[in-house]
Amino acid sequence: MFGDRASGSSGRQVKYRGQDFNAQLQLDLKDVYSTHKRTLTVNNKNIRINIPAGVENGQVIKIKGHGGKGTNGGPNGDLYIEFSVINNTQFRRDGNNLYVAVDLDLYKALLGGEIMVNTFDGKVKLTVKPETQNGTKVKLKGKGFPKYKKEGQFGDLYVTYTIDIPIKLSSKEKELFTQLSKLR
């Protein structure tokens, strides 16, 4: 009734997709601050990839067609690259935001003034308000980490002031602080 097709084949070979490959790429946090190209060797083949700024630790990207060869004309497999991002900077990253602690001397905290603060791409001048308390946080909008695949968009940088209390005071300094304490 259905003809002579018991073998299920009409002379055609079945196409098989190639095997997917997995690779891990270790980068420093500074490496993923800007988009750049990198050459990887996978299965004795050099592959030039574009690494977008803002890639996160543990993130996986797929490179279509760079896995194993397909058989009988089937498509190649894909290459999956997992990023391991090592942070060896003074900044702590949380998504696109960066956090940093900055030491502030007691006199600057009490009287206010200007300080230079490191950002990921240089220094900025900050104005410290008089009577700044230990643990005060300041937000620097747009000075954080680049947003993944969103050109020109950045997270924020949060600066936390840590008041540096002077030690080894001279007798004159102790006397002045004693006088100040009596004024309160």
Domain boundaries, the chain: 21-86, 92-183
> Rounded to the nearest 5 degrees, what angle is found at the Cα of 87, between the Cα atoms of 147 and 126?
65
| Contact between 48 and 38 (Cβ < 8 Å) | yes
Does the pLDDT of residue 147 top 60, yes or no?
Answer: yes
Q: What percent of the chain has pLDDT over 70?
A: 94
Concatenated DSSP letters of 51-67: E-TT--TT-EEEETT-S
Write the pLDDT tens digit of every residue in 112-135. Answer: 999 999 999 899 999 999 999 999
Fold topology of 21-86 = HSP40/DNAj peptide-binding domain (2.60.260)
Q: Of 144, 178, 158, 149, which Cα lies nearest the Cα of 53?
A: 149
* pLDDT, position 11: 59
Higher pLDDT, 35 or 6: 35
Tokens of 21: 């490959």
Any idea which residue has 């960066």 for tokens? 98
pTM score, whole prediction:
0.80
Of 46, 55, 59, nearest to 28 by C-alpha is: 55
User: Which residues, 6+ apart, have CB-to-CB distance to 131 below 8 Å?
Assistant: 109, 110, 112
DSSP 3-state assignment of 171? Answer: helix
Mean pLDDT, the chain, rounded, equals: 90
Q: What pLDDT, on the 0 to 100 scale, is given for residue 184? A: 73
Is 21-86's fold the same as 92-183's?
yes
Average confidence (pLDDT) over 148-156 = 93
Class of CATH domain 92-183: mainly beta
pLDDT digits over 27-80, tens only? 999 999 999 999 988 888 898 999 999 999 999 999 999 999 999 989 999 999
Under the banding of pLDDT at 50, 70 and 90, the label for residue 165 is confident
